[in-house]
Amino acid sequence: MSVNQEPWQWPEPVWRGHINRVRAGRRLVAEVPEERWPGGAEAAVLISFDSDHETPFLRDGNVTPAAMGMGEYGARVAVPRILALLERHAVPASFFIPAVCALQRPDEVPGYVERGHEVGVHGWIHERNSLLPREAERDLLARAADVLEMQAGVRPVGIRTPSWDFSPHTLDIIRELGFHYDSSLMADDEPYELLAEGEQTGIIEIPVEWIRDDAPFLMMDRFGGLRPTYTPRELLQVWKDEFDGALAEGGVFNLTLHPHIIGHRSRLFVLDELLSYISQHRVWYATHAQLASHVAPLI
Ligand SMILES: [Zn+2]
């Protein structure tokens, strides 16, 4: 009935149906801020990387050596630099990596795992999942989880969808494949349970935000109008302010970075500075999987 109608013509059940397909359920933080995080920490801090490397170019068919080289920088230069920085700060992180990247460099995923970091699913080739038929979307995610399990020695419990996109089937597929959490949606600052058509799913959402992502501020496209909008130092201030807000509310600060974007000399210092700033406070540094396990009893 709604197919040929404009959104302004939709009857109430139609627009309600769209809104209700995937919604935020219960917020998964303890009532009392002092009881929220292990060790009486005042905030939970999650540092995550989407190790996309060549795949955002590949998935759009941009296979020029120039594009491949820009992606390769992420794995070749940025990842070792990031791992050294995390080790220096003794901070665990979650790395979400497309299966194609993992297959291209079979040492990368084991390198994350042996340093105590988490590895999560990030699609097969960073596919645009909302353009795929259900079966293709499911097949790619299932095979991606198999590849990461084989390389990491443990099945990934979490997923971050490529480009944080969600098809009408994504939540069903996440449930079918047995993931514990997703980290792609933005309905809250704090973790929450995902509802499907109003029903509880048991899936924990660890929300992201474009504000706490390097890509929207620092990306550029030579042939398009896209240019970095902030300098790295300005971005540092945004993220400090985001952290200060999380600290004031006793909540979660969840940052998303991309090796091929943040890993440059003039940019990675932002993470160095940020972690030094955050570590002056009593915080709980956790992987996404650790946070999901911590809040799961609240469901
Ligand atoms: Zn990505």
CATH of the domain at 126: 3.20.20.370
155-168 pLDDT, tens digit each = 999 999 999 999 99
**pTM of the full structure:** 0.97
Q: Which residues of the chain have pLDDT under 70?
A: 1-3
Q: Which domain holds residue 51?
A: 36-298
Ranges of H-type helices in the chain:
12-20, 55-58, 65-73, 79-89, 99-104, 108-114, 134-152, 170-176, 215-218, 232-249, 259-262, 265-278, 288-295
Report the separation in Å between the CA atom of 199 and the middle of ligand 1, taken as the mean of its atom positions.
Answer: 29
Is residue 5 in some structural domain? no
Is residue 13 in some structural domain? no
Looking at the structure of the chain, the number of domains it has is 1
Report the separation in Å between the CA atom of 214 and the middle of ligand 1, taken as the mean of its atom positions.
Answer: 11
Report the separation in Å between the CA atom of 182 and the middle of ligand 1, taken as the mean of its atom positions.
Answer: 14
In whole angstroms, give the CA distance from residue 32 to residue 189. Answer: 16
Report the separation in Å between the CA atom of 27 and the middle of ligand 1, taken as the mean of its atom positions.
Answer: 26
Q: Are 47 and 287 in contact (CB under 8 A)?
A: no
Report the separation in Å between the CA atom of 189 and the middle of ligand 1, taken as the mean of its atom positions.
Answer: 20
Report the separation in Å between the CA atom of 122 and the middle of ligand 1, taken as the mean of its atom positions.
Answer: 7
The owner of tokens 């419990």 is 157
Report the separation in Å between the CA atom of 92 and the middle of ligand 1, taken as the mean of its atom positions.
Answer: 19
Is residue 269 in some structural domain? yes
Report the separation in Å between the CA atom of 43 and the middle of ligand 1, taken as the mean of its atom positions.
Answer: 26
1-38 pLDDT, tens digit each = 556 899 999 999 999 999 999 999 999 999 988 899 99
Is residue 22 in some structural domain? no
Report the separation in Å between the CA atom of 262 and the middle of ligand 1, taken as the mean of its atom positions.
Answer: 13
> Residue 49: helix, strand or coil by DSSP?
strand
| Structure confidence at residue 33 (pLDDT) | 84
| Structure confidence at residue 3 (pLDDT) | 64
Is residue 178 in some structural domain? yes
Report the separation in Å between the CA atom of 86 and the middle of ligand 1, taken as the mean of its atom positions.
Answer: 20
Report the separation in Å between the CA atom of 26 and the middle of ligand 1, taken as the mean of its atom positions.
Answer: 27
| Structure confidence at residue 223 (pLDDT) | 86
Is residue 163 in some structural domain? yes
**Class of residue 225 by CB neighbours under 10 A (exposed 0-12, middle 13-18, buried 19+):** exposed
Backbone angles phi, psi at 290, to 5 degrees: -65, -40
| Structure confidence at residue 2 (pLDDT) | 52
| Structure confidence at residue 164 (pLDDT) | 96
Radius of gyration for the chain, computed over Cα atoms and rounded to the nearest angstrom: 19
Report the separation in Å between the CA atom of 144 and the middle of ligand 1, taken as the mean of its atom positions.
Answer: 14
Is residue 254 in some structural domain? yes
Report the separation in Å between the CA atom of 126 and the middle of ligand 1, taken as the mean of its atom positions.
Answer: 6
Is residue 141 in some structural domain? yes
Report the separation in Å between the CA atom of 3 and the middle of ligand 1, taken as the mean of its atom positions.
Answer: 31
